[in-house]
Chains A and B, each alone.
Chain A
Amino acid sequence: MDNTILKVKDLKVHFFTRHGVVKAVDGDSFDMRRGESLCLVGESGCGKTTVALSVLRLLDSPPGKIMGGEILYGGDDLLKCPDDRLRQIRGNKIAMIFQDPQSSLNPVFTVGDQIAEQLKLHLKLGHREAMEKSLRLMEQVGIPRAAERINDYPHQFSGGMRQRVMIAAALSCNPEILIADEPTTALDTTVKAQIMDIFRDLKREKNMSILFITHDMGTVAGFADRIVVMYGGRIVETGSALDIFDHPTHPYTRGLLNCLPSVSAIRDRLTPIPGAIPSLINPPKGCVFDPRCECRLPLCATVRPEEVVASGDHTVACHQCAPSVVGEGHKPS
């Protein structure tokens, strides 16, 4: 049985800037399964948001341009299907939530109107029905006194409440896939916990497929089924949450987990990843992580590593794990 709902194959996205071509996403492939929460993890500039925007072809072009690859969703290639077909999918089948709830709501419409807009557009509901459904959605995402607040404007809501409104709007057409791009980054710790609870409930109760994009390994830990780690425009490691947290194999993933400060630790030095994130205009020739890697091989500087299977579902793009190298006993512990 194939329960893949979204398949990204060899996606390439470049940004054409005055300084040169930024290879923001450079040949990435991953699958998303029905009902799972897939987390795309990486630091700023690693291309995770670009991947998310490419799925719905929402990239600003220029400067962004999709150079190749396929994104398969239910028989359509989202990168090539006609615009009107894509509009039927956007918001209806695949919905998206953005990082900044401040700027993703239109300040001149009431929140009720903004939630109802999708319902009128895709489900062809009348105004009254749409507003009733909006109210139910607002209650569902935990907005207190929803009936009173439905006619309020976005500036009357706090950051956390606005993000709830965004989620309600995204859920309005009961989409199959929810893409959430750093939805909790702009929020305070205690509010973040509330929003994460909503996502957990969505997954558990509605069995929704969620593509969750974040830079925070901590947020991912209690939520992800599978994790895709990105660095410098490339996927470096993919695996189940347990694979990634218990057996991180790519040196970058290990570095990322090791460098986090933790509440319970005694006060000692952290183990940072040396150096800085490379420019993607002139990325390192072989492996993008090579200049910062602590267990590099001579090969790494020149040859781009292929994805290899570490175990079952767990794949890594690192020469250390390639069969030829592993055979020589270099496998990192």
Chain B
Amino acid sequence: MDRKLVEVKGLKKYYPVTAGLLSRHIADVKAVDGVSFHIAEGETLGLVGESGCGKSTLGRTMLRLEEPTSGSICYRGEDITGWDRKELKALRKEMQMIFQDPQSSLDPRMTIGDSIGEALLVHGMKNERERLELVAQLLKQVGLEPEHADRYPHEFSGGQKQRIGIARALAVNPKLIVADEPVSALDVSVQAQILNLMMDLQHSLGLAFLFIAHDLAVIGHVSNRIAVMYLGQIVEMADKAELLCHPLHPYTEALLSAVPVPDPHLERKRIVLQGEVPSPLKPPPGCRFHTRCPRGSKGCSEAEPELAELKPGHFVACHEPG
């Protein structure tokens, strides 16, 4: 059951910062800095973190849409880190992506039928009739009408555009979908429709998701397992129930306590963190969270904590977990 579909080890993605006429390399933005995790077949791994923590970069690097600086990505046991163009094209049929902004993720000059069909065309389905049939089927699958195929993106609402984005990702019949903030641009009443659709599709097609979001309520709802990211690193990763009920990392605790809950009677222990996320250009030495940590001891600013398995399946990177 728990077969690893993707396994990422020590993945790093640095963006060089250059200055001057000769583009002298002066520093690195460490967007993703040594991240390891795996996603099993058919499961949803929720990746949560605040803006700038590198969660989107991680998603794109995992799909090889960005070149990793170092580390390895394995798909079904094969190392895809060094794959060339041609091999990558085959990989695209296995891993797909859903984007945040339904407005900008569809080409405004293409009918949605063409947008969805593009994947099929690129992967060699030249027969137009077959393609149209498949597009119609995909549209039905995501809850739209087949007649919508020759309309343009501006004729749809945000929720419908996101459905189209999902249909496009499904066109090549992938096994894994990276969903980068798929509902954060949508209204709450529409958000639930899209979340339901994604969970239904996962159920019927056996898809695995890497679900990236900043909203812990959304992540907490859809995920099987959750990974929490802070400044380019995973600080805690565990099964959903375990992570939500027994968080071990102080950052996870703070995030949980800051989630707004629509219940006026709820009295909870609130941990309000001081300060803000430091720049990934110059992350603090030692534990990256120590500048804001309510627990922090002296050692935290010196040694960087390892992501260690404290309980079976529960990984934490903290010197003083608990």
Residues of A within 8 A of B (CB): 43-44, 144, 158-161, 188-194, 197, 215-222, 224, 241-242, 245, 255-257, 259-265, 267, 269-274, 276-277
Contact = CB atoms under 8 A, between A and B. Distances in A.
A189 B259 contact: yes
Contacts of A277: 157, 187, 189-190
A118 B311 CA distance: 56
B258 A192 contact: yes
Given A215-B187, A272-B190, A272-B192, A262 B221 contact: yes
Contacts of A217: 188, 260, 262
A218 B259 contact: yes
B195 interface: yes
Contacts of B255: 189-190
Given A43-B189, A256-B189, A272-B193, A263 B220 contact: yes
Contact of B188 (A191, A197, A256, A274): A256
Interface string B204-228: 0000000000111110111110000
Given A194-B272, A197-B272, A267-B221, A260 B187 contact: no
Contact of A190 (B188, B223, B258): B258
Interface stretch (B96-104, B171-179, B263-271): B263-271
A12 to B, nearest CB: 24
A277 B190 CA distance: 9
Q: Is the interface of A mostly helix, strand, loop or mixed?
A: loop
14 contacts: A190-B273, A191-B50, A193-B270, A193-B273, A261-B221, A264-B244, A269-B199, A270-B221, A272-B191, A272-B192, A272-B196, A276-B159, A276-B160, A277-B187
Contacts of B314: none
Nearest to A240: B264
Sorted nearest first, the 7 A-B pairs with minimum C-beta distance are A218-B260, A272-B192, A261-B221, A263-B220, A259-B192, A188-B50, A193-B258
Contacts of A193: 257-258, 270, 272-273
Contacts of B264: 221-222, 224, 241-242, 245
A218 B261 contact: yes
Given A217-B188, A224-B264, 10 more contacts: A188-B214, A189-B258, A190-B50, A190-B254, A194-B273, A221-B266, A222-B266, A262-B221, A267-B222, A270-B221
A264 B50 contact: no
Contacts of A259: 188-189, 191-192
B105 to A, nearest CB: 18
A221 B188 contact: no
B18 interface: no
Nearest to A242: B264
B187 A43 contact: yes
B55 interface: no
Nearest to B255: A189
A165 to B, nearest CB: 14
A193 B220 CA distance: 18
Contacts of A276: 157, 159-160, 190
B51 interface: yes
A256 B188 CA distance: 7
Given A44-B187, A189-B50, A273-B192, A261 B222 contact: yes
A270 B194 CA distance: 10
B94 to A, nearest CB: 25
Contacts of B259: 189, 218, 263
- In this complex, the member of B50, B159, B221, B224 whose beta carbon has the largest number of chain A beta carbons within 10 angstroms is B221
Contacts of B144: none
B277 interface: yes
A218 B217 contact: yes
A324 to B, nearest CB: 29
Contacts of A188: 50-51, 214, 276-277
A229 to B, nearest CB: 12
A261 B276 contact: no
Contacts of B244: 263-264
- In this complex, the member of B221, B257, B260 whose beta carbon has the largest number of chain A beta carbons within 10 angstroms is B260
B256 interface: yes
B75 to A, nearest CB: 25
B240 interface: yes
B221 A189 contact: no
B51 to A, nearest CB: 6
Given A191-B276, A197-B272, A267-B221, A262 B261 contact: yes
Nearest to B216: A263
Contacts of A218: 217, 259-262
A189 B50 CA distance: 7
A33 B223 CA distance: 43
Contacts of B273: 190, 193-194
A52 B59 CA distance: 39
A219 B214 CA distance: 15
Given A262-B220, A270-B196, A160 B189 contact: no
Contacts of B187: 43-44, 215, 277
B188 A263 contact: no
B190 A265 contact: no
